Structures are given as C-alpha cells and as structure tokens.
C-alpha cells in the first residue's frame, strides 16, 4: 500500500504526491472527506431542473458546466438524454425548423441553379440552414447521376 498525500490508498502516487483519484478530486476542488454532489434524488432533480432552465434560456454548456462543477461533455450528454435544446441557436438565430426535411425537386432546383444569390439567401428562401444548402450544392455537383434532372 502506497501513501498518498491526502489519504492512505493502494493507488500509484502521481503529481504532487497524490494518487490519480485524489489528484482528480483535488483538480475539481473536492476534499478527501467530501461526498459526491448528487447523493440524493431530490438534489439530483433540483440540479437537473436548474441546469435545464439555464440551457433553455440560451446559456452555453461551458458556462453551466463551470458553475455546476461537471465536465462539459458530461453535461452535453445529459442534455442529449433529457432532450434539452436551447430556445435560441448560435448567434441569436433560431434553429432551422426543417433541418431533416428531404429535398424536393423544386427546392433542389432553387438551391443548385440560383447562382445569382449567395448561399445564405438561398437558405433563407428555402427555410433551411446555411450548411444544409451548401452541403447539398457541393454533394450534387460531385454526383455523377442526376436524380432531380437539374444538370
């Protein structure tokens, strides 16, 4: 059994004389005798309600994770499991309402042939995201077949 600077444990000592477990707790600001934050169901539900409300109000995952003391990727995973989405997307715009809508021929013609308009205007005209229209144009240009009869 090796000696860690914080507690007696059977882990290999690492930086600052702490074992991996104790060093991770030290980095998170948790002392050796403190318990986990989410010990009771009520605490967990209250925290979930709080972070859900903050995310739906448009606060970033990084800011919420820093204040709650949880890793950003963990909080993002929780939001995915809970189905939590921000009310407003990046840069104050709402999320595209029909991101996964299949392309109709009329939409494909507008997206591909209206080269007089920038992609952003074509996306706004079609009610799609910028990246969705740009990706469609790029992929359609590289495609050997012509499923919509545009080329």
Residue scoring higher pLDDT (44 or 90): 44
Query: What pTM was estimated for this model as a whole?
Result: 0.40
pLDDT at site 80: 86
pLDDT interval class at 100 (50, 70, 90): low
Residues in the chain, overall count: 151
- Rounded to whole angstroms, what are the CA distances from 121 to 2, 42, 73, 102, 103? 65, 49, 34, 19, 17
In this predicted structure, the answer to whether residue 122 has a pLDDT above a threshold of 70 is yes
Other CB atoms closer than 10 Å to residue 131's CB: what's the count? 12
Residue scoring higher pLDDT (97 or 115): 115
Average pLDDT over residues 14-39: 64
29 phi and psi, to 5 degrees? 80, 25
Place of tokens 């702490």: 18
CB 64 within 8 A of CB 54: yes
Structure tokens at 77: 């995973």
pLDDT at site 112: 92
Q: For residue 146, is it left (φ>0), alpha (ψ between -120 and 50) or beta?
A: beta
What percentage of the chain reaches a pLDDT higher than 70?
68
pLDDT at site 11: 54
Q: For residue 11, is it left (φ>0), alpha (ψ between -120 and 50) or beta?
A: beta
């Amino acid at each position: 059994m090796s000696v860690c600077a914080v507690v007696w444990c059977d882990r290999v000592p690492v930086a600052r004389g702490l074992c991996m477990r104790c060093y991770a707790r030290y980095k998170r600001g948790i002392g050796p005798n403190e318990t986990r934050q989410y010990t009771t169901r009520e605490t967990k539900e209250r925290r979930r309600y709080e972070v859900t409300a903050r995310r739906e109000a448009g606060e970033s995952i990084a800011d919420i994770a820093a204040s709650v003391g949880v890793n950003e990727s963990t909080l993002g995973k929780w939001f995915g499991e809970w189905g939590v989405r921000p009310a407003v997307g990046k840069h104050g715009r709402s999320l595209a309402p029909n991101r996964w809508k299949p392309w109709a021929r009329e939409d494909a013609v507008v997206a591909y042939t209206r080269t007089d308009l920038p992609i952003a205007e074509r996306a706004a005209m079609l009610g799609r995201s910028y990246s969705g229209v740009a990706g469609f144009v790029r992929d359609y240009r590289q495609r050997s077949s012509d499923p919509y009869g545009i080329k």
